[in-house]
Amino acid sequence: MPTLRLFRLLLWMQWRSLLARVRGLRKRSPLLPFLLVSFVAGYLLLGYFLFFRGLKFVTAFPAVGALLSQRILFLIFGFFFVMLVFSNLIIGYSTLFKNRETNWFLTLPIRHADIYRWKFLECVAVSSWALMFLSAPMMAAVGQVNSASPAFYFQIAAAYLPFVALPALLGSALVLALVALLSKPWAKQALLAGAIFGLAALIIFVQPADAKDLGSSSEIRIFNQLLSHTRFSLNPFLPSAWMAHTVFALSGGLAREGGFYFCLLLSNALMGMLLGFEVASRFFYDSWARAFSHRSERSQLKADHRRQARLRRSFTQTVLDSWPMAALVSRPVSALVLKDSRIFWRDPAQWSQVMIFFGLLTIYVLNLRNVTYDIQSRLWGTMISYLNLTACALTLSTLTTRFVFPQFSLEGRRLWIIGLAPLGLPRVLMQKFWTACCAATFLTVSLMVASGTILKLSGWQITYFAAAIALMSNALCGLSVGLGALFPNFKEDNPSKIVSGFGGTLCLVGSFVYIVLFIALLAFPASLPFSAPSMTPSVRTALGTVANGAALLLSLGAAVIPLALARRRLKNMEF
């Protein structure tokens, strides 16, 4: 059994590496493990409380509460499945085709199929652990709401394994197919044209609900009309529907039905792994060789082009030079910005995720048209506007954690070159901070203005929320850049693995805690007219000023403290 012996050796190596990292972390700062455990415990408790109260509120609706809670869970698992496919697609590309360890394995006397199998398991672990961790409070809340037995939690933990394996198999197969397809010169243009066509079709065919029709219909008809767009999640051929059926059956004590859907998940996952390991693994080396030959050919063509047109400026350099603030930026900083932008756009694993994020944001903004008819009430208008701010903030935290946090670590072993340059590492750190702030502020403020316009908010409200999201952009970028420099991983060139480490987890949890506190402080003054209608306007104004001031101080602390600690660490760094 050479495959099992190889896997046992690699697992032992990964375990020893993990233990070494934990020991090194404890030696550097004994308080950091305690801080991480505190953040994780806080998220689990707070997440459980929010999910439990939300499910209790939904199930309390007369006649339709159970149906509504079930449909929500079907949609959640459908969303999980789609996101896991994309996550495995992107991480699989980085793990199989852009990883130095994979290239080294291919030079050893190891079967290519075994390398593919090991990297597939590694990809599943990297892409799925966060989902299982983040959804743990939700499953605990479902069990408590339905008064499930203690065995329910162990059964659901077992059901997650085949559930996360199915999108991983689909994503790995798509990686091999796309690598072969993208080696064609026309493939990227066709992919971009298809994305533009899909976006245009989404804008044209996704229409909001008609307020007049809803106003003249009965409540049952309105409910059925609003749920009609979620029926796709009930498709019996979707693995997400099998997982949702498993949860409902096991939480309700229906062991036979739950066992049937669990076996359905398990059998399909085992069959998929058999096909993936025995069939798809045979195409791995051909796809890898094709990707590297295409990359070498492309590099040679670019080198020839540069030699023929040495004085011609690139598009990125032209944009940077025409930027209104270019005169205030030194040439070394401009060169670093140019380097980071080129590295970003040359990596398909990076820009493909940006496309996915923008696609999801477009769908979100378009669907805001479906709720505009219901915000004539002042209470609902206030609630929806702050929920919109929360959604934008959570999207921003995902972007900063995924793309901003790894930027310092991606300098890799070449960091000593920049460190010995006259520019200095502290200025490099601030360059990454201001670059991330400009990009994040532009994106989030544009998103907030567009969503506020669709929600028909007043000009003052749009300005207020735009200023709030701009402040959050600076705070989250400072938090991500600072923690990225405090907890670097120069040995890894895969951003997904960098984020999956201790520093990335701490950044994600810290961003979540900051968003919760900031939104709570910001929404507190707006809730006073409904929670305390007898309070005088002067007292409300004073409390609002204090809350906004506290939110400002919280944002400054979230941005300044990590950056100050990172600058002090970089000044003492030795090469």
pLDDT tens-digit map of 53-104: 878 877 777 666 677 777 888 888 888 888 888 888 878 877 877 777 888 8
Please check whether residue 528 is in contact with residue 535, taking contact to mean a CB–CB distance below 8 angstroms.
yes
Give the mean pLDDT of 148-166: 87
- At 312, is the pLDDT very low, low, confident or very high (cuts 50, 70, 90)? very low
Contacts of 369 (CB under 8 A, 6+ apart): 207, 208, 454
Across 85-99, 268-282, 458-472, the highest mean pLDDT is recorded for 458-472
Which tokens in the block code for residue 456? 């028909």
At residue 573, the pLDDT reads 67
201-233: b (≥16 Cβ within 10 Å) or e = eeeeeeeebeeeeeeeeeeeeebeeeeeeeeeb
Residue 195 pLDDT greater than 70, yes or no: no
Calpha distance 448→461 (Å, rounded): 10
Give the mean pLDDT of 98-125: 82
More confident residue, 94 or 349: 94
More confident residue, 434 or 59: 434
Give the mean pLDDT of 110-119: 83
At residue 251, the pLDDT reads 83
Residue-level length of the chain: 575
Residue 563 pLDDT greater than 80, yes or no: yes
At residue 208, the pLDDT reads 52
Q: How many CB atoms lie within 10 A of CB 338?
A: 16
Across 55-64, 179-188, 223-232, 397-406, the highest mean pLDDT is recorded for 397-406
CA 67 to chain centre: 29
Residue 129 pLDDT greater than 60, yes or no: yes
Which tokens in the block code for residue 503? 């520093």
Among 123-127, 328-332, 352-356, 498-502, whose mean pLDDT is lowest? 328-332
Calpha distance 54→62 (Å, rounded): 15
pTM of the model: 0.67
At residue 311, the pLDDT reads 44
Q: Give percent above pLDDT 90 in the chain.
A: 1
Give the mean pLDDT of 157-167: 88
Residue 478 pLDDT greater than 80, yes or no: yes
| Cα–Cα nearest to 396, from 511, 252, 281, 318 | 511
Residue 123 pLDDT greater than 80, yes or no: yes
Calpha distance 84→125 (Å, rounded): 11
Residue 206 pLDDT greater than 80, yes or no: no
Calpha distance 534→520 (Å, rounded): 21
At residue 4, the pLDDT reads 80
At residue 308, the pLDDT reads 55
Calpha distance 87→572 (Å, rounded): 37
- At 310, is the pLDDT very low, low, confident or very high (cuts 50, 70, 90)? very low
Alpha-carbon dihedral angle through residues 439, 391, 135, 14, given to the nearest 10 degrees:
0
At residue 40, the pLDDT reads 76
More confident residue, 78 or 343: 78
Alpha-carbon dihedral angle through residues 138, 139, 142, 148, given to the nearest 10 degrees:
-160
